[in-house]
Amino acid sequence: MISYNVDDVRMPKFAHRFVSNWIKSVAEGYGCQIGEIAYIFCSDPRIFEVNRQYLGHEYFTDIITFDYSEEKKLSGDIFISVDTVASNAKEYGVTFENELMRVMIHGILHLTGQGDKTDREFRQMKKKENEALKLLTDK
């Protein structure tokens, strides 16, 4: 089950059922099933607080993924700052919706085991995000 929640912001506009089906198909492409996924859309101050409280980091970010997966059943809480998504969309010259979908699938890719800490992992993550986004536009 995929749930969409808000904390201190309005719910971003997107086709929830359509996006949920896309997320499930991406997960299946990695041999995984969706368990319990909770997206929490929040503000910059809220994600900063989550980052500081749970990870000990003193900086803003666009996404924080808490992984509760068991083997190939993906479960987790995925916090997304809509403020940072909006500023990144502007910086990268893409729509808010496109950047939001990229960040949402980024969290799922983390749950499948994809990292992004090294340059190589970062490049692989971007490639996988682009492949997933192509699936979304092909639907």
Per the structure, the count of domains in the chain is 1
Cα separation, 31 vs 114, whole angstroms: 13
CATH of the domain at 62: 3.40.390.30
pTM of the model: 0.95
For residue 84, count CB atoms less than 10 angstroms from its CB and return exposed for 0-12, middle for 13-18, buried for 19 or more.
buried
E strand spans, 16-101: 33-42, 63-67, 73-81
Q: What is the pLDDT along the chain (139 residues), one digit of tens a residue?
A: 999 999 999 999 999 999 999 999 999 999 999 999 999 999 999 999 999 998 988 988 999 999 999 999 999 999 999 999 999 999 999 999 999 999 999 999 999 999 999 999 999 999 999 999 999 887 5
Domain range for 12 is 2-138
